[in-house]
Amino acid sequence: MSHHQRPLSPYMLGQAYRFQLTSVMSFLHRISGIFLSIGALGLAWWLMAVAQGGDAYATVAECLASPLGMIALAGLSLSLVYHLLNGIRHLLWDAGHGMEIPEVYRSGYVVAALTVVLTAVIWFFAMRGGA
Amino acid sequence: MSTQRVGKAEGPVEFRTPLKRARGLGSAKSGTGHFWWQRVTAVALVPLVAWFIGTMVSLVGADLATVQAAIARPWNAIVFALFVVALFWHAKLGMQVVIEDYVHTRWLEITLQLVVIFLCAFAALASLYAIARIALLA
């Protein structure tokens, strides 16, 4: 039966189904959510280290300041801002606002632009404070 | 009444009606529970995440004593505790849906669901313990 050859979401994206702003942003919401869930475990680890102090805190601080740590922080901050803004977009939909297709695209572009701007602003202040 | 059997064909005869077997299963009593609490935690996290980002940015480059003192401030400790509870609750609900949607191997799905629940509970408790310890001892 050809039944088994049907393209399934999300693997159909980009193959049987054209990429759209809406589907890509929906997918990114999940990806960023997964990434943030892992990052939340890092937050618990950081809090425990702050509570313990001494070597435990020094180890965490060293990890965060390493190139890999900085890449993780950059990814997490971008994910957090995106998930927050797109989450607000979802909450507005839940309240019944902006559900017409042109509005959905407009809010999508607003979220994408604000994500880049806000993340840049956060890193500007973080670098200024840390320098 | 058809003679259904419990489990395999050689299992005991099933005398309960289909309605009796369905009761208490599925989403009959908690259908919107997941949806609702995902939204409740989301609404709570909007201001909490904004506060968290502001606090973290203000602590860049600070030494341990300054970080501890910032978390130890009474309202900060309370808000931080609220944040981690909402965060791990929201993470559990979100990861649950992702696993339900994409993992179709039953044993792997159940295993991952258990891992998510245990990790979120463990990390939330550890965070609350750490915040309390910093607030009360630092």
Residue B87 has its nearest CB partner, among A40, A90, A127, at A40
Average pLDDT over residues A110-119: 98
Separation of alpha carbons B82 and B78, rounded Å: 6
For residue A87, which residues of chain B lie inside 8 Å, CB to CB? 42, 45-46
pLDDT in tens, B4-39: 666 666 777 778 888 887 776 666 566 788 999 999
CA distance B30 to chain A (A): 19
Separation of alpha carbons B30 and A111, rounded Å: 32
Do A77 and A43 contact (CB within 8 A), yes or no? no
Q: Does residue B107 belong to any structural domain of this protein?
A: yes
For residue B49, which residues of chain A lie inside 8 Å, CB to CB? 80, 84
Instruction: Give the residue on B whose Cα is nearest the Cα of A36.
Output: B91
Q: Does residue B10 belong to any structural domain of this protein?
A: no
Residue-level pLDDT at B116? 98
Residue-level pLDDT at B1? 47
Residue-level pLDDT at B9? 67
CA distance B136 to chain A (A): 10
Report the number of distinct structural domains present in chain B: 1
Separation of alpha carbons B31 and B16, rounded Å: 24
User: Which of A9-23, A30-44, A77-91, A115-129 has the lowest average pLDDT?
Assistant: A9-23
Encoded tokens for A85: 């803004």
Residue A1 has pLDDT above 60, yes or no: no
What is the extent of the structural domain holding B37? 32-137
Domain annotation for chain A: domains and CATH numbers: 24-39+67-130 (1.20.1300.10)
Cβ of A44 under 8 Å from any chain B Cβ?
Answer: yes
DSSP chain B: ---EESSSTTSPEE-S-HHHHHTTSTTTTTTTHHHHHHHHHHHHHHHHHHHHHHHHHHTTT--HHHHHHHHHSHHHHHHHHHHHHHHHHHHHHHHHHHHHHH---HHHHHHHHHHHHHHHHHHHHHHHHHHHHHHHH-
Please report, rounded to a whole number, the percentage of residues in chain A having pLDDT higher than 70.
95
Which residues, other chains included, contact B34 with Cβ-Cβ below 8 Å and sequence gap of 6+?
A: B93, B96, B97
Q: Do A80 and B53 touch (CB under 8 A)?
A: yes
Q: Does residue B6 belong to any structural domain of this protein?
A: no
Q: Does residue B15 belong to any structural domain of this protein?
A: no
**Any bridge partners for residue A129, and if so which?**
none
Separation of alpha carbons B55 and B42, rounded Å: 19
| Residue B67, burial from CB neighbour count under 10 angstroms (0-12, 13-18, 19+) | buried
Residue A2 has pLDDT above 60, yes or no: no
For residue A129, which residues of chain B lie inside 8 Å, CB to CB? 57-58, 60-61
Residue-level pLDDT at A43? 98
Cβ of A70 under 8 Å from any chain B Cβ?
Answer: no
Cβ of A95 under 8 Å from any chain B Cβ?
Answer: no
Residue-level pLDDT at B26? 66
Residue B39 has its nearest CB partner, among A81, A91, A125, at A91
Residue-level pLDDT at B2? 55
Amino acid letter for position A15: Q
Per-residue tens of pLDDT for chain B, all 138 residues: 456 666 666 777 778 888 887 776 666 566 788 999 999 999 999 999 999 999 999 999 899 999 999 999 989 999 999 999 999 999 999 999 999 999 999 999 999 999 999 999 999 999 999 999 999 986
Separation of alpha carbons B124 and B22, rounded Å: 34
pLDDT in tens, A17-41: 788 899 999 999 999 999 999 999 9
Give alpha helix (H) positions in chain A.
Answer: 21-52, 54-65, 67-94, 101-130
Q: Does residue B51 belong to any structural domain of this protein?
A: yes
Residue A131 has pLDDT above 60, yes or no: no
pLDDT in tens, A82-98: 999 999 999 999 999 99
We report the CATH number of the domain holding residue B106 as: 1.20.1300.10
Q: Does residue B57 belong to any structural domain of this protein?
A: yes
